[in-house]
Structure 1
Amino acid sequence: MSEPRSALRAEPTLIDRYQAYRTRRFLKTERAYADLLPGWRTRRRRRALVIVLAATFAFMFAVSVMCAFGVDWAPLLWLPACLVFFPAWSVLQIVSGRQGDAPQAALDEYEVQQRNSARSIGLTVTQYLMLVPIFYLIFGATLTDGTDTDMAYAGGSMALTVLLVGGCLPAMILGWIRPDPEA
């Protein structure tokens, strides 16, 4: 006769083991960066970083539009955009505690609710914004019979910009709404 099902211990699945590993790695990284950039952890500074990121995304999209109009040197403008994006994004991640991509086990119930809400908004914004490069590429390919290479590059850079916006938006939202840390 076999034992009742409740008496058997379920072995952790691959996903359970990965989530546990991810939580351990997140907590280790959080401890390493906990005291870094204390002057940037205020709401005012986090909001400034969010505004810099939003302006960078607007600039990236403008570069994409310039590419669509065949401006030969426009792709070179991605370099200064990246030189602003990567440090601003890294600093925002550090000063906001990476709450936007934190594993659930590393957060309390309120933080999980905030994170999930920010992720939901990020996904919705990504889905709607992605329609811009999709329609641009569909209608552009129809009008040019698929022969315009500037259009393909512009559509790809538009899509990349939208994906960056969607990926960064949860952390941007949380960085914007979180109160100042307690002294």
Structure 2
Amino acid sequence: MNSKLAIVQYNCGNANHDKARPLFDSLDPARHLIIAVQEPFFRGRQGDTYCPRNYTLTYEASPNTKVCFMVSREIDAACWSRKQYGPDVAALRLRGEEHELTIINVYNPRGRRNANVEIQAWKQIDKALQDAAGEIILLGDFNCHHPRWGGPTVATEPEAERLLRVLWDAG
């Protein structure tokens, strides 16, 4: 695995089959090694989602699955694996000669918040973090807003505060 890894993270809003397709097709698999997608469009007849040439689609093929990875074929298939932690969380583990990296891809649907003011998929995220090896990148669409990542005019949501506290405590 190269010392530089370019990851493209994108929420398709169920439109990677048409609206997001030009973006995906413009990516260079030699430079953009990982595409982490939230809300991929599920093609019922094919039983999958759109994936650009020279990438390998890896996800749980279901209309309920809200995250997937597309891995450049520049990365040897023996050097990576994916694990699904429910429809909204998946982890991609990359193994190099000297390094390991786990990328955790999350989609937190709007409107499915619980009374404890936490991200709906927190148990799955926690399990993925426990299983992770090496360096960890946690990314995705958390649908929780905060000035730290949305700018000074963005209102703070309770889920964002909890996410910050948990990540801060984890180091």
Q: TM-score range by the shorter chain?
A: under 0.3
Structure number, greater radius of gyration: 1
**Greater strand content:** 2
Structure ranking higher in helix proportion: 1
Which protein, 1 or 2, shows the higher relative CO under an 8 Å CA cutoff with sep ≥ 6? 1
**What is the TM-score normalised by the length of structure 2?**
0.24
